[in-house]
């Protein structure tokens, strides 16, 4: 017998067996009866495989076999529902996941027979994962609100409805405004912020200040600094926890800048990779030191940075901010040269890093700004923003918090400068 056929049969049988085992274990743990176990699911997968082979000689066999399998599964579910109508069996779960898993198993066997083993294995693993995460999905669903659904719909509308109809050209009296690019940047920053917000919703923000800082840093490290510094000002005994949380949030800012650069301008991202990675690893090292030094403590935080960041007003605000920074950068570059770009970077860094990062990256990509000037401008904004957060922390959280974060920024910005010298961005 051909070794390829043996391999295919084994793949189909194993996929069916693994899906069936997952279903069997699930039903056993819930003290329920399943209409099919590991052996049955293996047979279903093999039935799909054999129907695919026979279909090569007799067209239509695979379709008929699929219909018969679907009918058997449907009848099994019908009898399950009928049993649930019995007063003595009113505790039966009416879920149909196992039945749909059986149909999917048949189709996986069919895929293997068509020579798509890799697709079948990938899909089979995905099916097992989906079956296994049911309890976790229920917890996530319990935390999702109608506002979250509206936010996700808004992101899709921003991306696939509004963006395609905007003109992708410079307009205005000085040809400094590009509607498409401006809205694209708003979509990018909204999507990244929404990912961070979703992570907070999934994992919760009561699992420790360090995790809160990490997840919150994906949304806004400045918001994390403001929120936690206020807590440190009241609860002095957790100053080291707050310092660690703010440190990890600021460390994620460096990663956030890198992600934005890779999305907008891959070449520029490669030039700044070493400085920002050096700052990131230095920040992670210092955060780990604070984590080991701090005793375990959990705290329920306010929703200052757990508020859904994906709102139309916020997207419009960022779009306007990006447009202003982008236009200002191009204008001062024309009028005052590279020095003007650094001035805009400094002023932008006082409030936000994302807008100047995307603006300078896009200008460099369009050839309107030298990559070195763009990279130095982004680093300037990052450094200025870091000092602003240090001042906020020291002012609101007290002297000890300020000292701990001073050491953090001394280490990370020192690593950033060392990386800058190493790549020769001067």
Within a domain: residue 128? yes
The reply to whether 325 and 417 lie within a common domain is: yes
The reply to whether 245 and 169 lie within a common domain is: yes
Domain tally, the chain = 2
For tokens 């069916």, name the residue.
16
Final residue of a structural domain among 132, 155, 182:
132
The reply to whether 160 and 287 lie within a common domain is: yes
The reply to whether 249 and 385 lie within a common domain is: yes
Q: What is the pLDDT confidence band of residue 229, given thresholds at 50, 70 and 90?
A: confident
Lowest mean pLDDT among 142-146, 190-194, 288-292: 190-194
How far apart, in whole angstroms, are the C-alpha atoms of residue 360 and residue 260? Answer: 11
- More confident call, 344 vs 209: 344
The reply to whether 52 and 199 lie within a common domain is: no
The reply to whether 123 and 154 lie within a common domain is: no
The reply to whether 211 and 83 lie within a common domain is: no
Give the percent of the chain with pLDDT over 70: 72
Q: What is the pLDDT of residue 69?
A: 84
How far apart, in whole angstroms, are the C-alpha atoms of residue 9 and residue 218? Answer: 46
How far apart, in whole angstroms, are the C-alpha atoms of residue 357 and residue 370? Answer: 14
How far apart, in whole angstroms, are the C-alpha atoms of residue 103 and residue 122? Answer: 17
Within a domain: residue 205? yes
The reply to whether 120 and 242 lie within a common domain is: no
Lowest mean pLDDT among 61-70, 149-158, 291-300: 291-300
- For 24-76, how does the pLDDT look when each residue is reduced to its tens digit (9 = 90+)? 887 777 776 667 778 888 888 898 889 888 888 888 888 888 888 888 888 87
How far apart, in whole angstroms, are the C-alpha atoms of residue 24 and residue 392? Answer: 56
Final residue of a structural domain among 104, 132, 160:
132
The reply to whether 65 and 193 lie within a common domain is: no
**Closest residue by Cα to residue 103 from 45, 60, 155, 55:** 45
- More confident call, 328 vs 167: 167
Final residue of a structural domain among 81, 106, 132:
132
CA dihedral 300, 303, 304, 305 (to 10 degrees): 90
The reply to whether 171 and 216 lie within a common domain is: yes
> Is residue 203 pLDDT above 70, yes or no?
no
Within a domain: residue 137? no
Measured CA angle at 25 (ends 100, 92), to 5 deg: 60
Q: What is the pLDDT of residue 92?
A: 54
Q: What is the mean pLDDT of residues 379-396?
A: 88
Question: How is residue 86 written in tokens?
Answer: 């019995």
Q: For the residues of 289-303, what is the DSSP string, one character each? A: HHHHHSPP------S
The chain-wide mean pLDDT, for the chain, equals: 78
Q: What is the pLDDT of residue 327?
A: 67
**Closest residue by Cα to residue 356 from 319, 317, 322:** 322
Q: What is the pLDDT confidence band of residue 408, given thresholds at 50, 70 and 90?
A: very high
Q: What is the pLDDT of residue 301?
A: 47
The reply to whether 154 and 302 lie within a common domain is: yes
Within a domain: residue 43? yes
The reply to whether 346 and 392 lie within a common domain is: yes
Q: Which domain holds residue 19?
A: 3-132
Residue 224: C-alpha distances to residues 251, 260, 283, 303, 414 (Å):
12, 20, 16, 11, 23
> Is residue 325 pLDDT above 70, yes or no?
no
Give the percent of the chain with pLDDT over 90: 7
């Amino acid at each position: 017998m051909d070794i390829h056929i043996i391999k295919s049969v084994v793949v189909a049988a194993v996929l069916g067996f693994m899906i069936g085992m997952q279903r069997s274990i699930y039903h056993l743990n819930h003290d329920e009866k399943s209409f099919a176990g590991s052996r049955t699911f293996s047979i279903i997968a093999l039935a799909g495989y054999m129907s695919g082979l026979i279909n090569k000689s007799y067209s239509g066999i695979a379709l008929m076999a699929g219909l018969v399998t679907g009918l058997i599964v449907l009848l099994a579910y019908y009898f399950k529902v009928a049993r649930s109508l019995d007063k003595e069996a009113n505790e039966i779960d009416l879920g149909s996941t196992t039945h749909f898993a059986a149909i999917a198993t048949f189709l996986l066997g069919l895929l293997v027979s068509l020579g798509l083993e890799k697709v079948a294995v990938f899909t089979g693993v995905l099916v097992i994962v989906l079956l296994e995460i049911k309890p976790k999905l229920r917890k996530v669903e319990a935390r999702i609100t109608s506002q979250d659904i509206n936010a996700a719909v808004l992101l899709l509308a921003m991306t696939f409805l509004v963006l395609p109809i905007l003109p992708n050209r410079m307009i205005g009296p000085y040809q400094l405004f590009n509607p498409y690019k401006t809205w694209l940047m708003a979509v990018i920053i909204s999507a990244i912020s929404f990912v961070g917000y979703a992570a907070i919703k999934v994992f919760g923000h009561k699992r420790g200040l360090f995790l809160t800082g990490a997840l919150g840093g994906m949304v806004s490290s400045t918001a994390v600094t403001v929120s936690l510094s206020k807590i440190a000002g009241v609860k002095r005994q957790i100053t080291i926890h707050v310092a660690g949380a703010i440190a990890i949030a600021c460390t994620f800012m460096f990663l956030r800048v890198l992600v934005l650069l890779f999305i907008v301008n891959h070449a520029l991202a490669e030039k700044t990779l070493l400085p920002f990675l050096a700052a990131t690893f230095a920040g992670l090292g210092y955060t780990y030191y604070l984590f080991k030094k701090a005793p375990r403590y959990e705290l329920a935080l306010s929703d200052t940075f757990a508020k859904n960041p994906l709102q139309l007003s916020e997207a419009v605000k960022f779009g306007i901010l990006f447009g202003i920074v982008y236009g200002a950068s191009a204008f001062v570059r024309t009028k005052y040269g590279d020095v003007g770009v650094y001035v805009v970077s400094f002023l932008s860094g006082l409030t936000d890093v994302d807008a100047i990062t995307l603006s300078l990256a896009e200008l460099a990509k369009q050839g309107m700004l030298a990559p070195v000037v763009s990279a130095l401008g982004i680093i300037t904004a990052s450094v200025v923003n870091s000092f602003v957060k240090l001042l906020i922390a020291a002012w609101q959280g007290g002297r000890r918090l300020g000292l701990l974060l001073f050491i953090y920024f001394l280490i990370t910005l020192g690593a950033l400068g060392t990386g800058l010298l190493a790549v020769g961005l001067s």
